[in-house]
């Protein structure tokens, strides 16, 4: 009997020790997870602040900015001062290149015309041209985009700008902006949804969002139609 009690006591001590160690391990893991949680929360907070500063908010499934002019080719223009504007692509355009492999940017000093090709993007074996939304002379390009093409995907209205231009006129100011830009982009979102529904049927949406990597799902003819309808400078 004494032997059995001794065995039970030893087992209880062992189980208690293991429980204490597991508890201590859980406490340590919880403590270590706090900095990670704070870091992730901080990154999300920084991203949210950056979006607010850029006037970025949601319209349907897309993000839009109230600080830019929207061109029919889904490029945008943001005035920096009287002699310089920044040019980029809007959230709808960047979603056509969910995994961009490279952006071919023009050289500083290049003269550009509104509605003419100025940037080329490569993605999943396909290429497409981005039309300039403004006329003038390019003064600078965003080298960060060359080094990290996904920057346009992560932050299209701020860090993902493509190039700066000294505009030759103010014609871009006739493009939709503010509430008009928001309404226009919302209409374009609906138009893109209809395009995918017609071209891809049930594969047009995934979890309520646009399909990912459309270049890999569309045929050559469908891709050409897509770029003509959404990246060309339509009147």
d(CA 224, CA 227): 5
> pLDDT-based confidence at 12, cuts 50/70/90?
low
- The string of pLDDT tens digits covering residues 178-225 is 999 999 999 999 999 899 888 887 555 555 566 667 778 889 999 999
Which residue did the predictor score with more confidence, 31 or 152?
Answer: 152
| CA 12 vs CA 6, 7, 16, 25: distances in Å | 10, 9, 6, 20
Predicted TM-score of the model (pTM): 0.76
- The string of pLDDT tens digits covering residues 15-28 is 556 666 656 656 55
- The string of pLDDT tens digits covering residues 44-77 is 455 455 555 557 999 988 999 999 999 999 999 9
Beta strands in the chain, from DSSP E residues, in sequence order? 56-59, 62-65, 69-70, 75-81, 84-89, 102-104, 111-112, 117-123, 126-131, 136-141, 163-167, 205-206, 209-210
């Amino acid at each position: 009997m004494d032997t059995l009690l001794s065995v039970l006591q030893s087992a209880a001590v062992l189980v208690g020790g293991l429980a204490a160690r597991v508890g201590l391990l859980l406490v340590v893991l919880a403590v270590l997870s706090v900095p990670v949680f704070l870091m992730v929360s901080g990154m999300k907070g920084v991203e949210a602040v950056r979006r607010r500063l850029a006037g970025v908010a949601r319209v349907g499934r897309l993000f839009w900015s109230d600080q830019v002019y929207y061109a029919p080719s889904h490029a945008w223009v943001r005035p920096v001062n009287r002699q310089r504007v920044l040019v980029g692509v809007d959230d709808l355009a960047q979603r056509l290149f969910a995994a961009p492999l490279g952006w071919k940017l023009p050289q500083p000093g290049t003269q550009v015309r509104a509605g003419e090709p100025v940037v080329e993007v490569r993605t999943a074996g396909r290429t497409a041209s981005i039309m300039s939304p403004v006329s003038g002379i390019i003064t600078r390009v965003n080298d960060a985009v060359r080094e990290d093409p996904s920057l346009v995907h992560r932050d299209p209205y701020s860090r993902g700008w493509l190039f700066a231009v000294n505009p030759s006129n103010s014609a871009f100011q006739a493009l939709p902006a503010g509430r008009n830009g928001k309404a226009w982009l919302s209409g374009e979102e609906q138009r893109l949804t209809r395009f995918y529904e017609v071209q891809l049927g049930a594969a047009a949406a995934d979890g309520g969002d646009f399909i990912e990597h459309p270049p890999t799902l569309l045929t050559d003819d469908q891709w050409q139609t897509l770029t003509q309808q959404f990246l060309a400078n339509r009147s």
